[in-house]
């Protein structure tokens, strides 16, 4: 059974809990981030860190 637990703080898509598992991540400030947005933000951070390494 899926239970709506909130909306993604970045894209506003609904985030559900399925069989006791949150389909996203809970941030320190109690906001929810969907897995898709988490992947996008992780990719952006990775690109940024690679850019910094190339500059050094």
pTM, full prediction: 0.77
Task: Please give the pLDDT value at position 54.
Answer: 74
Which residues lie below 8 Å from residue 32, measured CB to CB, with a gap of 6+?
Answer: 5, 6, 7, 8, 9, 15, 22, 24, 25, 26
- For the chain, the residue count is 56
Distance CA 33, CA 5 (A): 11
Nearest C-alpha neighbor of 1 from the set 26, 25, 20: 20
Q: What is the pLDDT of residues 7-51, one digit of tens each?
A: 999 999 999 999 999 999 999 999 999 999 999 999 999 988 887
Task: Please give the pLDDT value at position 48.
Answer: 86
Distance CA 29, CA 46 (A): 23
Task: Please give the pLDDT value at position 34.
Answer: 97
């Amino acid at each position: 059974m899926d239970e709506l637990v909130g909306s993604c703080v970045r894209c506003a898509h609904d985030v559900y809990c399925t069989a006791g598992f949150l389909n996203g991540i809970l941030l320190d400030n109690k906001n929810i981030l969907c897995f898709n947005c988490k992947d996008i933000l992780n990719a952006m951070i990775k690109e940024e860190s690679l850019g910094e390494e190339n500059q050094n």
